[in-house]
């Protein structure tokens, strides 16, 4: 992967930032996983304290995509753990963004993917298979659509309407 620098992407794309075609996510996400920088087309998922659909999506071929999970910002349980991190790595996902919590941090930190989440929490989620895949979601006031592109590094997270040259 080419060197990714979200700060440079922002500097080079002021017009896209002004139009809203490039958005910066709020800076509340913690960095997990071995890939400090990652990018790819977005697959959206909206769930609340239930990770059955998370597993279903991560068990499909990732092909360098990024799973963006709107977990409603819940801090009461984890939506992704070490097993799902390993599945994501094995299936070729570039990364996972969780508007919520993860667990098994040491296991996830051993995976060759990028993971961003609000925090860690030891409690696992419900298993009811409730949620919506491939729908527009809002995270921290930012609209994110299925098929857009996510770019993440140590400085932050960008969402672009289209693929950018990096």
Domain assignment present for residue 87? The answer is yes
In this structure, the number of other CB atoms found within 10 A of the CB of residue 36 comes to 12
Q: Is 84 annotated as a binding residue?
A: yes
Its pTM stands at 0.96
Dist CA 1 CA 117 (whole Å): 22
Average confidence (pLDDT) over 2-10: 86
Average confidence (pLDDT) over 44-64: 98
What DSSP character marks residue 128? S
Domain assignment present for residue 57? The answer is yes
Domain assignment present for residue 23? The answer is yes
DSSP string, 101-117: EE--HHHHHTSSSEEEE
Q: Is the dihedral of CA 153, 158, 163, 166 positive or negative?
A: negative
CATH classification of the domain holding 16: 3.50.30.40
pLDDT of 146 over the 50 cut: yes
Dist CA 38 CA 65 (whole Å): 10
Q: Is 143 annotated as a binding residue?
A: no
pLDDT of 38 over the 60 cut: yes
Dist CA 19 CA 26 (whole Å): 18
Q: What is the pLDDT of residue 23?
A: 98
pLDDT of 2 over the 90 cut: no
For 105-133, how does the pLDDT look when each residue is reduced to its tens digit (9 = 90+)? 999 999 999 999 999 999 999 999 999 99
Domain assignment present for residue 165? The answer is no
> Where does the pLDDT of residue 4 fall: very low under 50, low under 70, confident under 90, or very high at 90 and above?
confident
Q: Is 104 annotated as a binding residue?
A: yes
Q: What is the pLDDT of residue 61?
A: 98
Q: Is 110 annotated as a binding residue?
A: no
Domain assignment present for residue 133? The answer is yes
pLDDT of 95 over the 50 cut: yes
Q: Are 156 and 142 in contact (CB under 8 A)?
A: no
Q: Is 103 annotated as a binding residue?
A: yes
- Structurally, the chain folds into a number of domains equal to 1
């Amino acid at each position: 992967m080419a060197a990714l620098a979200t700060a440079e992407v922002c500097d080079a794309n002021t017009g896209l930032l002004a139009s809203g075609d490039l958005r910066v996510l709020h800076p509340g996400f913690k960095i997990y996983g071995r890939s400090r920088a990652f990018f790819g087309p977005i697959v959206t998922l909206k769930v609340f304290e239930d990770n059955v659909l998370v597993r279903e999506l991560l068990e499909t071929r990732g092909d360098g995509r990024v799973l963006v999970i709107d977990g409603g910002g819940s801090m009461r349980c984890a939506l992704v753990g070490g097993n799902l991190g390993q599945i994501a790595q094995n299936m070729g996902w570039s990364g996972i963004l969780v508007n919520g919590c993860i667990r098994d941090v040491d296991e996830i930190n051993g995976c060759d993917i990028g993971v961003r989440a609000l925090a860690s929490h030891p409690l696992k989620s419900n298993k009811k298979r409730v949620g919506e895949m491939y729908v527009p979601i809002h995270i921290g006031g930012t609209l994110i659509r299925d098929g857009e592109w996510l770019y993440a590094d140590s400085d932050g997270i960008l969402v672009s309407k289209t693929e950018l040259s990096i």
